[in-house]
């Protein structure tokens, strides 16, 4: 459990319900789910990861209806920082 908490703190990941903005497209997404997982680095090693699912916010569309995406973040990547910005919450 300590490994997962470290990933959360080091990466400054959003909480469920927060809104993030895609740096590439400028679209808004709400964090719908967050859970602890183990990610394969190679055939013999697992590292702690945090899986986050995002729902694309569109005017007039109910929460959870429409496009959903999800990613796993570990202490060994910078994909959250490179692709997302927390804008609300």
pLDDT tens digits, 16-37: 999 999 999 999 999 999 999 9
Q: Domain 2-88, what fold?
A: SH3 type barrels. (2.30.30)
* 49-66: pLDDT as tens digits: 999 999 999 988 887 788
- What span, in angstroms and rounded, lies between the C-alpha atoms of 4 and 57? 28
- How crowded is residue 7: how many other Cβ atoms within 10 Å of its Cβ? 21
Question: pTM higher than 0.85, yes or no?
Answer: yes
List strands edge to edge, sheet with 84-88: 68-74, 46-56, 28-40, 19-22, 84-88
Q: Which residues, 6 or more positions from 82, have their beta carbon under 8 angstroms from its beta carbon? A: 23
Is 49:7 a contact under the CB 8 Å cutoff? yes
């Amino acid at each position: 459990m300590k490994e997962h908490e470290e990933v959360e703190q080091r990466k400054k990941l959003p909480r469920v319900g927060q809104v993030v903005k895609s740096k590439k497209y400028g679209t808004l997404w709400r964090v719908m789910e967050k859970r602890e997982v183990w990610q394969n680095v190679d055939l013999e090693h697992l590292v702690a990861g945090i899986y986050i699912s995002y729902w694309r916010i569109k005017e007039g569309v109910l929460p959870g209806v429409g496009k959903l995406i999800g990613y796993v973040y570990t202490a060994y990547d910078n994909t959250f920082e490179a692709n997302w910005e927390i804008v609300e919450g």
